[in-house]
Structure 1
Amino acid sequence: MNSNLLQKTPIAIIGQAAIFAKAASLTEYWDNILNKIDGITDVPPSRWDPADYYDPDPTAEDKTYCKVGGFIPDIDFNPLEFGLPPNLLEVTDSSQLLGLVAARDAMEDAGYGTDTEFDRENTGVVLGVAGGQKLISDLSSRLQYPIWQKVLESSGISPEDTEIIIEKMKMAYVPWNENSFPGLLGNVIAGRIANRLDLGGMNSVIDAACASSLAAVKSSVSELIEGRANMMITGGVDADNSPFTYLCFSKTPAFSPSQKIRPFDQESDGMLIGEGLGLIVLKRLEDAERDGDRIYAVIRGIGSSSDGKYKSIYAPRPSGQSLAIKRAYEEAGFAPHAVGLVEAHGTGTKAGDPAEFTGLKAVFGTPNGNKQSIAIGSVKSQIGHTKAAAGAAAMI
């Protein structure tokens, strides 16, 4: 992106929606932040049973040593509101359904609800979505029955009893049908929003791991600056706190053995994960002012970078992180020492936090005449690391 483009065409945030731990709405999310509400809880029975997957020993095979996290509350979903047949829900990943709710809420917050006339043809959707969706586990597990059959038969179970057992095991999983494939795809989260809200701009998802939602914002900003769209829905969606995800972070290992997430604390010993959706609505500032939109904030600079060749794929590089920050401030035309608060990544890991803090000091710690203090924080301390939605959670 040309370093002067955002100075010439700043982008306004005109709508927001949030669904995070203990917060079913934007208002609840903000109130929880102000009131210092801890959204970390035990795994609820509606997700999975710790008796099946938990073991405090990090080396235990096929077990997670963590049984807490950030879990979103129950969200009412009326399929008829979005023109979806009720029988579609069983084979549609919850992230797609929650994405529709969050997109509706963000657009209503921006003043562009379902019944409002606006330029739908030039409104797009770009979301941060990482990895597979939860429905994949159910559908793929159902396909393991040939293995079950061989194990049962080799154990001396009769063919008749084997067939009965296999049919019972199949019933524990979602059946395959013509809607299963679109129902499990991450890109359909954005596609379904564009389809149900009747939007004609581009729709896509971006997987940049923890940076997915901010990478989606960057792409959306480019669409607006280049005149390819007049309004964009962007942010991140991650509703996957499944046993599979817990095993991924357990075997890395990245979870806090103490089951506490303490970003930038000297006692921090690891992260906790959370479910979440954070969506924002963007327009060019000039257009937002012309149309009388409420403006939450203005984006004047975006910086991105990679760590290049370093110790390992997991090892964060302070200079790589400081480079992204410097690029953002250079593009915006602001001096870093003008900042009063930094909302950081702050995962609480032993490697991540020191590296990030070193990178922040390289940018914000340079001597200046103002000698002011700069506050630092991370909302992960309240809702956990929401993975693909983490950047949006911080941005909101």
Structure 2
Amino acid sequence: MTRPFSPIAIVGQACLLPGATSPDALWDAVEEGRDLLGEAPLDRWGLDPRRVTGTVEDATDRTWSRRGGYVEGFEELFEPEGFSIDADEVRAFDPLVKWLLHCGREALRDAGAPDCSRAGAIIGNLSFPSTAMARHAERTWLGDELADAADLPPSHPSHRFMSGLAAHLLARGLGLGGPAFCLDAACASSLVAIKLACDRLQDGEVDLMLAGAVSCADD
């Protein structure tokens, strides 16, 4: 028997994208037809990107392009205070988690700061190496002495579980009392997250869901 469908309202939204740190900024970019891709910042890859950009004649151990979607200026935008997690702990999180905390808080603000006791989160999170995971690998390969000389920060213990823990840290930081988990459905991850969030709302398990996806791979 088919269960009747109850309409679902989108009551809040937020985003963090290259060249657009809010839905209004994204809409402006779309209206203006702007290309939000750009060259890799000189400090992004740990060396000058020009040193590893190849050509058809010189392609061994080289990359074909330095263009990508790079979020700039987030640390100046992000406020680590105000979550249900100590601000010093938040500062040590991987950028992936900070992005989620920021967007989750902004979406809830846009929704009018609703009661979150029956709210949950479903997040698409592809299992790419994150910034903190890459730094952990570098420290492992170099050893502590060389890593300290290179000013590589120690890895936060939570970075070992980035595939799923991000949603739980989001729920903890925002005081969500409902289910919270990550999923990986490749390029469909955000759509699957929204679909499953709608299912939870239809089931009556929750009154509010945060749904979306994050891509913060270290490249």
TM-score range (shorter-chain normalised) is: 0.7 to 0.9
Residue 211 of structure 1 corresponds to which residue in structure 2? 188
Asked which structure has the greater CA Rg, the reply is: 1
1:144 aligns with 2:141: yes
One-letter code aligned to 1:174: P
Gaps of 5+ in 1: 147-165, 244-396
Query: Given the alignment of the two structures, is residue 35 of structure 1 paired with residue 32 of structure 2, yes or no?
Result: yes
Rounded to whole Å, the distance in 2 between the matches of 1:201 and 1:195 is: 10
Deviates more, 1:74-83 or 1:196-205: 74-83
Structure 2: tracts of 5 or more residues without a match: none
Structure-2 residue corresponding to 1:65: 64
Shift of 1:45: 2.6
* Secondary structure of 1:20's aligned partner: coil
- Tell me whether 1:167 sits opposite 2:145 in the alignment: yes
* Secondary structure of residue in 2 paired with 1:125: strand
* Partner in structure 1 of residue 120 of structure 2: 124
Structure 2 counterpart SS, 1:189: helix
| Equivalent position of 1:84 in the other structure | 86
Cα distance, 1:135 vs. partner?
A: 1.4
Residue type matched to 1:102 in 2?
C
- 1:225 to 1:171, Cα distance in 2 relative to 1, 3 A: farther
CA RMSD of aligned residues (A): 2.3
CA distance in 2, matches of 1:89, 1:168: 24
Q: How big is the shift at 1:186?
A: 3.0
Equivalent pair of 1:56/1:66 in contact (CA under 8 Å): no
Identify the residue that residue 191 of structure 1 maps to in structure 2: 168
Alpha-carbon distance in 2 for matches of 1:219, 1:58: 48
SS in 2 for 1:128: strand
User: Contact conserved, 2:94 with 2:159, CA < 8 A, in 1?
Assistant: no
Q: Name the TM-score, length of structure 2 as normaliser.
A: 0.86
AA paired with 1:50? P
Q: Is the 8 A contact 1:129 1:238 kept in 2?
A: yes
Q: CA deviation at 1:10?
A: 2.6
In structure 2, give the amino acid aligned to 1:78.
E
In the TM superposition, residue 128 of structure 1 has moved relative to its aligned partner by: 0.4
Residues 106 and 87 of structure 1: is their aligned pair in 2 closer, same or farther, counting only changes over 3 Å?
closer
Asked whether the equivalents of residues 18 and 72 of structure 2 are also in contact (C-alpha less than 8 Å), the reply is yes
Alpha-carbon distance in 1 for matches of 2:149, 2:161 = 19
Residues in 2 aligned to 1:58 and 1:220: alpha-carbon distance in whole angstroms: 49
Displacement of 1:180 in angstroms is 2.6
Instruction: Report the 3-state secondary structure (helix = DSSP H, G, I; strand = E; otherwise coil) of the residue aligned with 1:30.
Output: helix
Q: Please name the residue that 2:103 is paired with.
A: 102
The aligned counterpart of 2:54 is 55
Task: Provide runs of 4+ in structure 1 moved above 6 Å.
Answer: none
